[in-house]
Structure 1
Amino acid sequence: MEPKRYDAVLLASFGGPEGQDDVIPFLRNVTRGRGIPDERLEEVATHYRAHGGVSPINEQNRQLKAALEAELAARGIELPVYWGNRNWDPYVPQTLQQIHDDGHRRVLAVTTSAYSCYSSCRQYREDFGVALRETGLEDELAVDKLRQYFDHPGFVRAFLPSLAAGLREMIAAVGAEKTHVFFATHSIPNSDAAAAGPRPLAAQLREQTGAEAGEANGADVYSAQHLAVAELLMSMVEEGSEVDWSLVYQSRSGPPSVPWLEPDISDAMEQRVTQDGVEAAVVVPLGFVSDHMEVIWDLDTEAKETAEELGIRFVRTDTPGTHREFVSGLVDMISERLAQLDERPQRAGMTQMGPWFDVCRPNCCSKVMRDGTIKPTTSAVDADVTPPQAL
């Protein structure tokens, strides 16, 4: 996109409960429209209740907001940073209303999702469109979305120090041949994986791999992005050439009859131990920006317990969080879009898949409904055109 004179930044995220009384209402928000009874939600609620009913994601977003504000100020960029969530307070509609009430009219949204799929990209566009419509601000406020940043140097390099430390620790303990790196990301339905990214690129990947999405890693845009970053990271650490690695998935939900991306991390660890004699697991939460519930429960609790049952060593590396490289990279990408800057950074990407698009391609990251149909567009923001309100 051509640079614009943005006057505010919106940090948009998933949201999470901040007390025991918030847990079920939060989960109702997450599963809205699916008809899931509270009894089933309570099964998931145990993850939050084990941590006092508090998801760490909100505090992490407060810290990220403060870090962005500090980095913008250090560069002399006068942009206020606001924060809004999809599923919990502060909600996106109220935040957009506050932005408008404070006198701002052109907003650049930064999301806490790096990769391409419906829930991490297109759904945010829908969130902004619905919020503008609900608040009556469709003709008053413009909201553009920052590009997906899976291979931006700031995001990639933020993983390196902890990955290198984890590898050194495990190699020293059991040797390189007995160490395996598991790059973990959130599983999504195979149908959503097949619909992730631009149609031509998705078709090209399936042709190259000879598989449909979900049958082989890399047969869909979502998995291919993760694989490209994982391969890049292993090439950037000194010990990377000595150690085997793989992409694994976690946090699947929904009925067992609906296929999701596999292998699950626990299944993959068991297979590596049984077939390859692996004695140490280095787990990299590659699909996550910060240590939210899917990281501290699915990896730090469940995957770690699997490793203990298998009798192998386990280390989980850091997420980007507020790592200086990550924060600096986000501000670099904000700066790419600012017309008010005399000098803007080059659009950076470290893999052949990037840098990703500023404007989503037609039909990019569609949502496949349970009956196999594609979710229709619901607003100008969700339409595959270039509306004034948001992209």
Structure 2
Amino acid sequence: MSQARSRKVGVLVMSYGTPESLDQVEAYYTHIRRGSPPSPEQLKELTDRYEAIVGGFFPLRQHTDNQVKALEEKLNEAYPDIEFVCYQGLKHASPFIEDGVEQMVKDGITEAVGVVLAPHYSVMSVGSYIKRAQEKADQLGLSISFVRSYHLHPKLIEALSIRVEEALARFEGVSKDEVLVMFTAHSLPERILEMKDPYPEQLLETSRAIVEKTGVTRWQFGWQSAGQTGVPWLGPDILDVLQTVKDENKAECVLVCPIGFVSDHLEVLYDLDIEAKRTAEELGLRFERTRSLNTDPLYMETLGEVVHALLTNAVKG
């Protein structure tokens, strides 16, 4: 006989968002630019990037949908005393973060948890998602708490380490000590350093944990996908690092592990698989990338455990 569930909890699963089709790219880009439409040149550049990914297929939306569904299943399977209902809230596309909060209230949810599909906290990324969700929840009288980061969760580190070891094996005939492992994440404006933002250090902590678990001896961190905003962004950029690999690292093989991203989307499928790979090949480097987490069971368990832990701590408090 199935156990009766004593409480119902809404889970707002937040992420960056993506257009669902090429004709939505302009509206999406305009939202990112806070209502300022892109120039025709800017729009063409972004549209061309999407078209370069499997002829314009938009994988991020599908991966996010799958992650939200898989997390709901994992939570209800792992914690039979609670009924979990997952809602999606996107930063730059519909359903927006505010839409997700509003839908929870419409569905009669009175207790909620928010979690972002990004393991590392920055006030400019995860912090901005939380701010928007909290403001809407306050407006509607919904009680909601938030997972801020989970960058050292053992199951996350295990999932990423498995991917590093698996990808290292693709360099046939090459010792893993000869491969430079480059961990990457989305760059942010340099001013976060003045704010003592934890983002850069959390990324290094994740990198070190993977290195310790895998026994990798050559590694470094590089940034990617910086915005073109006229202000300095965190560097060095991966494309610049690749230029120095042979001279500074005496390496011929590079493995990129994009620890700041949890799905296959534009920053992975274009910025790494097309742009960085092309640069590496031009430089005579062998290039591989670790598989994305997507709906990996260990990643779903990570999310499920951090959500449940927040509820448990709230009860204790």
Answer whether TM exceeds 0.5 for this pair.
yes
Q: Match for residue 258 of structure 2?
A: 285
Q: Match for residue 249 of structure 1?
A: 223
| 2:102 alignment partner, SS class | helix
Counterparts of 2:209 and 2:300 in 1: how far apart (Å)?
Answer: 20
Q: Deviations over 1:39-77 (max 9, x none)?
A: 323322321232344432211111111211211221213
Q: Is the 8 A contact 2:183 2:259 kept in 1?
A: yes
Q: Match for residue 106 of structure 1?
A: 111
Deviation at residue 275 of structure 1 after TM alignment? 3.2
Counterparts of 1:259 and 1:277 in 2: how far apart (Å)?
Answer: 29
Question: Is residue 222 of structure 1 aligned with residue 174 of structure 2?
Answer: no
Counterparts of 2:169 and 2:13 in 1: how far apart (Å)?
Answer: 35
Q: Match for residue 325 of structure 1?
A: 298
Q: Is the 8 A contact 2:114 2:147 kept in 1?
A: yes
AA at the equivalent of 1:223: P
Counterparts of 1:247 and 1:59 in 2: how far apart (Å)?
Answer: 29
Whichever structure has more strand as a proportion of its residues is: 2
Counterparts of 2:263 and 2:196 in 1: how far apart (Å)?
Answer: 22
Q: 1:90 to 1:196 in 2, by over 3 A?
A: farther
Q: Deviations over 1:166-186 (max 9, x none)?
A: 22332x433345311011111
Match of 1:83 among 88, 94, 119: 88
Q: Match for residue 124 of structure 2?
A: 119
Aligned residue runs from structure 1 range 230-245, under 5 A: 230-237=207-214, 239-240=215-216, 243-245=217-219
Question: Is residue 297 of structure 1 aligned with residue 299 of structure 2?
Answer: no
Deviation at residue 118 of structure 1 after TM alignment? 2.5
Q: Is the 8 A contact 2:97 2:129 kept in 1?
A: no
AA at the equivalent of 1:10: L
Aligned residue runs from structure 1 range 1-391, under 5 A: 7-33=9-35, 36-51=38-53, 52-75=55-78, 76=80, 77-132=82-137, 138-170=139-171, 172-197=172-197, 221-237=198-214, 239-240=215-216, 243-255=217-229, 257-339=230-312
Deviation at residue 151 of structure 1 after TM alignment? 1.0
Deviation at residue 112 of structure 1 after TM alignment? 0.9
Counterparts of 1:10 and 1:50 in 2: how far apart (Å)?
Answer: 32
Counterparts of 2:238 and 2:285 in 1: how far apart (Å)?
Answer: 14
Counterparts of 1:340 and 1:265 in 2: how far apart (Å)?
Answer: 39
Q: 1:340 to 1:244 in 2, by over 3 A?
A: closer
| 1:173 alignment partner, SS class | coil
Q: Deviations over 1:8-57 (max 9, x none)?
A: 11111111011111111111111115664343233223212323444322
TM-score, scaled to structure 2: 0.89
Gap runs ≥5 in structure 2: 1-6
AA at the equivalent of 1:49: E
Q: 1:33 to 1:194 in 2, by over 3 A?
A: farther
Deviation at residue 6 of structure 1 after TM alignment? 6.3
RMSD (Å), alpha carbons:
2.4
| 1:114 alignment partner, SS class | coil
Higher alpha-carbon deviation: 182-191 or 269-278:
269-278
Q: Deviations over 1:249-293 (max 9, x none)?
A: 1001124x5221111112111201133331111110111111121
Gap runs ≥5 in structure 1: 198-220, 345-391
Whichever structure has more helix as a proportion of its residues is: 2
Q: 1:277 to 1:340 in 2, by over 3 A?
A: closer
Q: Deviations over 1:195-227 (max 9, x none)?
A: 253xxxxxxxxxxxxxxxxxxxxxxx3222111
Q: Is the 8 A contact 1:107 1:143 kept in 2?
A: yes
AA at the equivalent of 2:282: E
Q: Deviations over 1:91-129 (max 9, x none)?
A: 222222221111112210111121121232210122214
Deviation at residue 130 of structure 1 after TM alignment? 4.6
Higher alpha-carbon deviation: 51-60 or 96-105:
51-60
Counterparts of 1:122 and 1:41 in 2: how far apart (Å)?
Answer: 28
Q: Match for residue 350 of structure 1?
A: none
Deviation at residue 142 of structure 1 after TM alignment? 2.3
Identity, in percent, stands at: 30
AA at the equivalent of 1:157: E
AA at the equivalent of 2:63: Q
The size of the alignment, in residue pairs, is: 308
AA at the equivalent of 1:193: L
Q: Is the 8 A contact 1:18 1:55 kept in 2?
A: yes
AA at the equivalent of 1:90: P
Counterparts of 2:300 and 2:200 in 1: how far apart (Å)?
Answer: 24
TM-score, scaled to structure 1: 0.73
